[in-house]
Copies of this chain bind each other. A is one copy, B any other.
Amino acid sequence: MSFNTFGRVFRFTTWGESHGPAIGAVVDGCPPGLALSEADIQPFLDKRKPGTSKFTTQRREADEVRILSGVFEGRTTGTPISLLIENTDQRSKDYSDVARAYRPGHADYAYDAKYGFRDYRGGGRSSARETASRVAAGAVARAVIPDVDIFAWVSAIGGDAIDYADFDAAQIDQNPFFCPDPAAAVRWEAMVDAARKDGSSLGAVVECVASGAPAGWGAPLYAKLDSELAAAMMSINAVKGVEIGDGFGAAALRGEENADAMRPGENGPTFMANHAGGIAGGISTGQPIRLRVAFKPTSSILIPVDTVTREGEASQIITKGRHDPCVGIRGVPVVEAMMALVLADQYLLHRAQCGE
């Protein structure tokens, strides 16, 4: 089965392949009356856009979004919002090898095993190019929850982590790595450049915080806020792990260390810590919602790897073409978008059952 819709009440459906004429998303269930234009969406696409530095793929896409429906006189009408992004820099000739043999780490073999047939150009549907559609949809989601502030950053590349003592949110947009620690950004520049020159690639960790969501969002037991976030993040290309709050670190703690003690506050309790990442019992607590996402190294590398052909013969493959040496970097706006999309959906779900 393919299943390309995400969300319960605020839903989006994406479509499109890396080398088709266009990609897009349909956002359904958006509240009416929200101010929305292409100008509200484009900055997020620009943040994700390829070709902006030598540390990302050299494919050049303008990634200009058009709103084809659901907005009238600058406001959402409550009907489905169709978003379209044309593909302009496909170079399908780059991918002839991929038609013949499976790229290890890519979805090539799995798609063939599933569908018996695939659009191999640039990874087709399994390409990370699809995430542009998510980023566009995510911008709509942000309009639904304007009081929630969402931002993400890269916290480690190739195992080299930032120092949280040097965390400076203002730095995130000042370097090509979405890195909040200037010293780490300098180190990463050398690391990523070296990997790129080696024809290799590096993994990364992305962290995201959403502040301003009130206590009470989440739909236990099977659409819990953390469960939906885990699904959302794990659906992103190259993601292999998700942690909420302290995540695996919590597994090494004792109960009293992990307890987020409470004291009386002006608007509900004040929490003395946030090991839980702002979620308890699958419901937001009003604290910042914190999560970490592990991106594997880009599977497209210039170093030959053993593989098999579609006919089952032994072969080797080098993935030429234009690729990100560290796909986690451009994952930052995608993680933010998925956070926004989950929270918008949970907000509306909560309002359905419990009112405003």
Write out the residue numbers on chain B whose beta carbons fall within 8 Å of the beta carbon of A301.
255-256, 259
Contact, CB under 8 Å: B254 / A158: yes
Contact, CB under 8 Å: B241 / A251: yes
Number of interface residues of A (CB under 8 A): 155
Contact, CB under 8 Å: B126 / A281: yes
Contact, CB under 8 Å: B215 / A306: no
A257 to B233 CA separation, bound complex (whole angstroms) = 23
Contact, CB under 8 Å: B221 / A14: yes
The residue that A215 contacts in the complex, of B8, B110, B250, B264, with Cβ under 8 A, is B110
The residue that A80 contacts in the complex, of B4, B227, B257, B348, with Cβ under 8 A, is B4
Q: How distant is A144 from chain B, measured CB to nearest CB, in Å?
A: 10
In the complex, per-residue mask of A1-45: 1 if CB is within 8 Å of any chain B CB, else 0: 111111011010111110011111010111111000000000000
Q: A114-B78, A245-B240, A269-B102 are in contact. Are A294 and B351 (CB under 8 A)?
A: no
Contact, CB under 8 Å: A255 / B200: yes
A285 to B107 CA separation, bound complex (whole angstroms) = 9
The residue that A216 contacts in the complex, of B110, B252, B292, B305, with Cβ under 8 A, is B110
Q: How distant is A158 from chain B, measured CB to nearest CB, in Å?
A: 6
Q: A297-B250, A352-B1 are in contact. Are A15 and B81 (CB under 8 A)?
A: yes
User: Main SS of chain A's interface residues?
Assistant: mixed
Q: A78-B2, A124-B77, A305-B261 are in contact. Are A251 and B159 (CB under 8 A)?
A: yes
In the complex, per-residue mask of A136-166: 1 if CB is within 8 Å of any chain B CB, else 0: 0000000000000000000010110000000
A130 at the interface (CB under 8 A from B): yes
Shortest Cβ distance from A198 into B: residue: B254
Q: Can you name 11 A-B residue pairings with CB atoms under 8 Å?
A: A29-B352, A72-B118, A72-B119, A104-B261, A110-B282, A126-B282, A158-B253, A202-B255, A205-B251, A227-B231, A255-B297
Contact, CB under 8 Å: B26 / A115: no
A258 at the interface (CB under 8 A from B): yes
A3 to B223 CA separation, bound complex (whole angstroms) = 6
CB within 8 Å of B: which of A252-287? 252-264, 268-269, 272, 275-277, 279-286
Contact, CB under 8 Å: A354 / B283: no
In the complex, per-residue mask of A208-241: 1 if CB is within 8 Å of any chain B CB, else 0: 0000001111111111101111111111010111
Contact, CB under 8 Å: A220 / B3: yes
A32 to B226 CA separation, bound complex (whole angstroms) = 22
A111 to B220 CA separation, bound complex (whole angstroms) = 10
Write out the residue numbers on chain B whose beta carbons fall within 8 Å of the beta carbon of A263.
306, 308, 314
Contact, CB under 8 Å: B241 / A244: yes
A332 at the interface (CB under 8 A from B): no
CB within 8 Å of B: which of A63-101? 66, 68-70, 72, 75, 77-82
Contact, CB under 8 Å: A203 / B105: no
Contact, CB under 8 Å: A77 / B117: yes
Q: How distant is A345 from chain B, measured CB to nearest CB, in Å?
A: 9
Contact, CB under 8 Å: B9 / A281: no
Write out the residue numbers on chain B whose beta carbons fall within 8 Å of the beta carbon of A228.
231
Besides A16-B80, A113-B214, A241-B251, 12 other A-B contacts (C-beta < 8 A):
A2-B353, A15-B26, A17-B69, A110-B283, A203-B251, A205-B251, A231-B231, A237-B281, A240-B247, A253-B297, A256-B305, A275-B296
